[in-house]
C-alpha cells in the first residue's frame, strides 16, 4: 500500500526532516509511527498525502509515485486517503453533518446516499445524535471523532492519523484507538503517528520509530 524508497525531505531553510527513510506497509496493515517531537512523523504522513513533496527518493501509494504526481491528479489521491488531524480541521460554520458530508460532496455524491453514509460514519464514532450540532458546541474528544467520521465516510482504503489522541484522556484515547483497529479489521490500511508509547504498546501492533529523521526501528518488518 505504502512504499518509501530512500526518502529524504529537506524543508526550505535547510531543516532535514527525513533522511533516507525506506519501509513498506502492506494492504490491510495497521502500524504506529513514533518518535520524539520534531523527529519527522508529521512530515512522513504529509508526503503520503502529497501535502509535501520528497526532496529525494520515492514515495509510492498503491504503486502511484506520489512525489511526481501532477497537480491536477492530487485530488484523486487524497480522496483515497482519509486523514485525521490533531487539530481536527473542522469547519466551524457548518454542522457536524455538513462537515462529515464534505468528502462525499467533493467526490460528486448527491441525494439520499449522502445522508445514509454520513449517519453510518457518525454511528461508528458514536455521535449519531450530534449531527445537527456545530463543532464549537462539542468537546475535544467529540470533535476528534467528527474528524474521524469525516476521514472514513468515503470508505478510503488508507487511513492516516496525526496524533489523533493528543489532547484526550487515556480512556478516550483507548476508545479512539479501538475505533481505528475496527476500521483495520474491515480491510483499511492504517498508519497512526503518536507520542503515546504506553498506548502503542498496549495495542501490540507494528511500530515505526523515527529519530532525527531516520527510521531506526520497524523498517524491516513487512506484512
Partner 1 sequence: MAARGERAAGAAPAGRPRRPRLRAWLAEHRDAAAGSLRRLAREPLSSLMTLAVIGIALALPAGLHVLLANAQAVTGGWRGEARISLFLERGVDPARARALRRELAARPGVRAVELVTPEQALAEFRRLSGFGDALDALGENPLPATLVVTPAASDPEALVALAARLRALPEVEAAQLDLEWVRRLHAILALARRGVAVVAALLAAAVLLVVGNTIRLEIQNRREEIVVTKLIGGTDGFIRRPFLYSGLWHGLLGAALAWVLVEGALALLAGPAARLAELYASAWRPAGLGAGASLALLAGGAALGLAGAWLAVARHLREIEPA
Question: Rounded to the nearest whole angstrom, what is the least distance from the CB of residue 38 to ligand ATP in the complex?
Answer: 4
Q: Which residues bind ligand ATP (CB under 6 A)?
A: 11, 13, 15, 17, 35, 37-43
Distances in Å between the alpha carbon of 106 and those of 97, 99, 158, 216?
A: 14, 11, 18, 38
Angle between helices 140-152 and 170-185 (to 10 degrees): 10
Question: Within 10 A of 105 (CB to CB), how many other CB atoms are there?
Answer: 11
Sign of CA dihedral 60, 61, 63, 65: negative
The number of helix segments (H) and strand segments (E) in the chain equals: 7, 10
DSSP 8-state code for residue 185: H
State in angstroms the smallest separation of the CB of 40 from partner 1: 15
Q: Which stretch binds partner 1 (CB under 8 A): 87-95, 167-175, 177-185, 210-218?
A: 87-95
Segment lying near Mg ion (by CB under 5 A), choices 12-20, 42-50, 106-114, 133-141: 42-50
Q: Which is nearer to ligand ATP, 39 or 200 (CB)?
A: 39
- Identify what 11 binds: partner 1, ligand ATP, Mg ion, none; CB under 5 to 8 Å per kind: ligand ATP
**What residues line the site for partner 1 (CB under 8 A)?**
27, 46, 49, 51-52, 62, 72, 74-80, 83, 89-91, 102-103, 105-110, 150, 154-157, 187
Amino acid at each position: 500500500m505504502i512504499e518509501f524508497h530512500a526518502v529524504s525531505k529537506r524543508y526550505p531553510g535547510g531543516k532535514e526532516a527525513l533522511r533516507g527513510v525506506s519501509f513498506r506497509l502492506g494492504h490491510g496493515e495497521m502500524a504506529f509511527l513514533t518518535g520524539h517531537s520534531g523527529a519527522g512523523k508529521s512530515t512522513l504522513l504529509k508526503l503520503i498525502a502529497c501535502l509535501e513533496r520528497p526532496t529525494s527518493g520515492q514515495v509510492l501509494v498503491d504503486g502511484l509515485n506520489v512525489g511526481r504526481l501532477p497537480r491536477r491528479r492530487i485530488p484523486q489521491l487524497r480522496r483515497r486517503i482519509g486523514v485525521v488531524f490533531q487539530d481536527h480541521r473542522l469547519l466551524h460554520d457548518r454542522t457536524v453533518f455538513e462537515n462529515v458530508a464534505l468528502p462525499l460532496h467533493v467526490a460528486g455524491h448527491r441525494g439520499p446516499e449522502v445522508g445514509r453514509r454520513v449517519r453510518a460514519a457518525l454511528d461508528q464514532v458514536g455521535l449519531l445524535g450530534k449531527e445537527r450540532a456545530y463543532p464549537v458546541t462539542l468537546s475535544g474528544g467529540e470533535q476528534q471523532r467528527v474528524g474521524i467520521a469525516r476521514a472514513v465516510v468515503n470508505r478510503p482504503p488508507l487511513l492516516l492519523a496525526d496524533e489523533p489522541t493528543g489532547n484526550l484522556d487515556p480512556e478516550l484515547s483507548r476508545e479512539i484507538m479501538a475505533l481505528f483497529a475496527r476500521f483495520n479489521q474491515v480491510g483499511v490500511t492504517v498508519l497512526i503517528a503518536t507520542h503515546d508509547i504506553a498506548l502503542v504498546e498496549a495495542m501490540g501492533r507494528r511500530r515505526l520509530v523515527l529519530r532525527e529523521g531516520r527510521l531506526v526501528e520497524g523498517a524491516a518488518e513487512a506484512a
